[in-house]
């Protein structure tokens, strides 16, 4: 049973000044300001790139004081409260979490984010985990959160090559004359089964990356000390890997994986590679610090990966190029060049903007980059959204909430369903909760649910962005 929410709505029109040619600076006064009193100069901040865990599960972009120092004091009211956004009146604790130490009533009775953003784009929270035991699908609490709030998700780590490839099985196959790499789909299978049962689409992440791809994958016999293979052998392995990934998902769970990050983070202006025209990354994680894909195949590995993915992808499955710092003006130029090249050849459908940000990132740069990328006429996906707070104090969470509100307002104002020119199809936050419950240690503080699985101020501020921009689902937010 849903009850009407007594909210005063301010409908704010927003003009999205679109760009042609090079990016021009926009007038911030024409854009919605989430806090009129907050007029400080926001400085640029470099994204850190892909979030990767260490042995304890603590991720590379973690900051803050840790889950055990999560504040218990309620922040000063800046945004709305749980009572304002409760939509389930007769709450019954799901049987799966009946014995949980977490009280999830607020999280499972507030406005479902997937429904709130339905007029615009898919909304998701990524499934954390650095092994089978810590994967979100193993947690009843995380399952309930995903089912209630998400119509899309992605695995933060466990669909990457280093988790999919089995070295022992690859070596055994090679010893018997079989060059195809051997993949282990055990964890992926469990994830896809859960998502299929609960109508949650999956972003496949990621097929080709210079990181989290084992060095032995590039060596003869899949041996740690084998010589690096030649180009033809590597092409065969690349095609086989992509074919196996796509056909497993499509044959066993048709329609669940609706897009793939085919290549991740291959543009690096600092590498000064010129032949490609878009500055292909030459550095990577080989023992010599180089990108093995580039070492063996040259910059052509990017086009090859998309060519193979297009060959095996089912109709309607979008092929995505995904990168960090996509809003940086220098990097944006080269990403745009790559996207144009791939689009001309019919190989790409979407650009994935990771959006690993902080509260000090100038969000106007992000806005401007979306305006520019929209000129490509491709889908734009926000794939790994995280706006990191300085700490977990109430004041920091308030500033974080203001940034999330502004970010969402910008995306909504630019989206073509609201009169803009950008075809934004996905917004995905890159974890489920601060202080992720299956990690021994996790100091991430960018999520919309805190370490007690309670909505944070940024949860409410995102919903208020919907109201401020003026288009929202009237059945959900009244």
Tens digits of per-residue pLDDT, 283-310? 999 999 999 999 999 999 999 999 999 9
3-state secondary structure of 213: coil
Report pLDDT for 71.
36
Q: 42: how many CB neighbours lie within 10 A of its CB?
A: 18
Question: Which residues, at least 6 apart from 290, have a Cβ–Cβ distance to it below 8 Å?
Answer: 282, 283, 284
Tens digits of per-residue pLDDT, 304-315? 999 999 999 999
Cα separation, 267 vs 47, whole angstroms: 14
Cα separation, 300 vs 277, whole angstroms: 12
Q: Name the pairing type of β-strands 201-209 and 257-264.
A: parallel
Of the residues 47, 62, 379, 384, only one is catalytic, namely 384
- Cβ neighbourhood burial of 25 (10 Å; 0-12, 13-18, 19+): exposed
Sign of the CA dihedral running 204, 205, 209, 214: negative
3-state secondary structure of 133: helix
φ and ψ at residue 139, rounded to 5 degrees: -105, 120
Question: Which residues, at least 6 apart from 266, have a Cβ–Cβ distance to it below 8 Å?
Answer: 208, 210, 280, 281, 293, 302, 321, 323, 338
Q: Which residues pair with 202 in a beta bridge?
A: 153, 257
Closest CA to 407 of 449, 459, 465, 329: 465
φ and ψ at residue 46, rounded to 5 degrees: -75, 135
Closest CA to 163 of 188, 134, 193: 188
The answer to whether residue 375 scores a pLDDT higher than 60 is: yes
Residues 412-424: what's their mean pLDDT?
95
Of the residues 50, 265, 268, 464, only one is catalytic, namely 265
Two structure tokens written together for 30: 């024409």
What DSSP character marks residue 127?
B
Tens digits of per-residue pLDDT, 117-128? 999 999 999 999
Q: 172: how many CB neighbours lie within 10 A of its CB?
A: 13
Cα separation, 189 vs 412, whole angstroms: 34
3-state secondary structure of 308: helix
Domain ranges in the chain are 70-469
User: Which residue has tokens 């409760």?
Assistant: 86
| 219 touches 227 (CB < 8 A) | yes
What is the H or E stretch that residue 143 is in?
helix 140-149
Q: Name the pairing type of β-strands 257-264 and 423-429.
A: unpaired
3-state secondary structure of 367: helix
Provide the H-helix boundaries in 19-96. Answer: none
Cα separation, 383 vs 370, whole angstroms: 13
Closest CA to 253 of 200, 310, 182, 206: 200
Cα separation, 71 vs 79, whole angstroms: 17
Q: 44: how many CB neighbours lie within 10 A of its CB?
A: 11
The answer to whether residue 248 scores a pLDDT higher than 60 is: yes
Residue 265 is among the residues annotated as catalytic for this protein: yes
3-state secondary structure of 27: coil
Tens digits of per-residue pLDDT, 153-198? 999 999 999 999 999 999 999 999 999 999 999 999 999 999 999 9
Sign of the CA dihedral running 226, 230, 234, 236: negative
Residues 400-426: what's their mean pLDDT?
96
Classify domain 70-469 at the CATH topology level. Answer: TIM Barrel (3.20.20)
The answer to whether residue 25 scores a pLDDT higher than 80 is: no
Residue 300 is among the residues annotated as catalytic for this protein: no
Report pLDDT for 275.
96
Q: Which of 121-125, 141-145, 362-366, 467-471 has the lowest mean pLDDT?
A: 467-471
């Amino acid at each position: 049973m849903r009850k009407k929410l007594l909210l005063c709505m301010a409908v704010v029109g927003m003009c999205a000044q679109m760009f042609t040619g090079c990016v021009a600076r926009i007038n911030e006064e024409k854009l919605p300001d989430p806090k009129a009193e907050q007029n400080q100069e926001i400085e640029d901040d470099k994204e850190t790139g892909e979030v990767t865990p260490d042995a304890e599960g603590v991720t590379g972009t973690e900051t803050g004081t840790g889950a055990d120092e999560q504040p218990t004091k309620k922040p000063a009211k800046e945004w709305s409260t749980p009572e304002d956004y409760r939509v389930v009146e007769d709450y019954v604790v799901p049987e799966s979490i009946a014995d949980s130490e977490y009280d999830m009533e607020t999280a499972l009775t507030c406005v479902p984010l997937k429904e709130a953003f339905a007029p615009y784009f898919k909304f998701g929270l990524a499934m954390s985990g650095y092994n089978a035991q810590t994967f979100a699908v193993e947690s009843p609490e995380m399952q309930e959160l995903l089912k209630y709030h998400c119509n899309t998700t992605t695995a933060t780590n466990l669909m990457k090559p280093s988790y999919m490839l089995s070295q022992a099985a690859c070596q055994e196959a090679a010893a018997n004359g079989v060059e195809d790499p051997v993949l282990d789909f055990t964890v992926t299978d469990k994830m896809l089964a859960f998502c299929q049962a609960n109508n949650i689409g999956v972003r496949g992440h990621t097929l080709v990356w210079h990181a989290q791809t084992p060095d032995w994958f590039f060596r003869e016999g899949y041996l740690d000390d084998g010589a690096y293979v030649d180009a033809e052998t590597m092409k065969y392995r690349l095609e086989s890997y992509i074919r196996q990934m796509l056909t497993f998902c499509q044959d066993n769970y048709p329609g669940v994986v609706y897009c793939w990050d085919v290549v991740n983070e291959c543009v690096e202006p600092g590498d000064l590679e010129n032949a490609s025209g878009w500055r292909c990354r030459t550095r990577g994680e080989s023992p010599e610090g180089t990108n093995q894909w580039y070492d063996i195949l040259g910059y052509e590995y990017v086009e090859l990966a998309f060519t193979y993915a297009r060959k095996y992808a089912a109709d309607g499955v979008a092929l995505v190029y995904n990168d960090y710092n996509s809003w940086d003006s220098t990097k944006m130029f080269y990403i745009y060049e790559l996207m144009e090249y791939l689009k001309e050849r019919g190989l790409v459908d979407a650009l994935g903007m990771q959006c690993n940000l902080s509260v000090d990132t100038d969000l106007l740069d992000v806005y401007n980059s979306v305006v520019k990328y929209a000129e490509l006429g491709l889908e734009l996906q926000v794939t790994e959204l995280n706006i990191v707070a300085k700490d977990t104090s109430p004041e920091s969470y308030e500033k974080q909430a203001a940034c999330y509100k502004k970010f969402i307002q910008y995306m909504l104002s630019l989206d073509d369903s609201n009169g803009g020119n950008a075809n934004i199809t996905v917004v995905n936050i890159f974890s489920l909760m601060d202080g992720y419950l299956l990690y021994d240690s996790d100091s991430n503080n960018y999520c919309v649910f805190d370490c007690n699985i309670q909505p944070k101020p940024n949860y409410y501020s995102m919903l208020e962005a919907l109201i401020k921009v003026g288009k929202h689902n009237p059945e959900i937010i009244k």
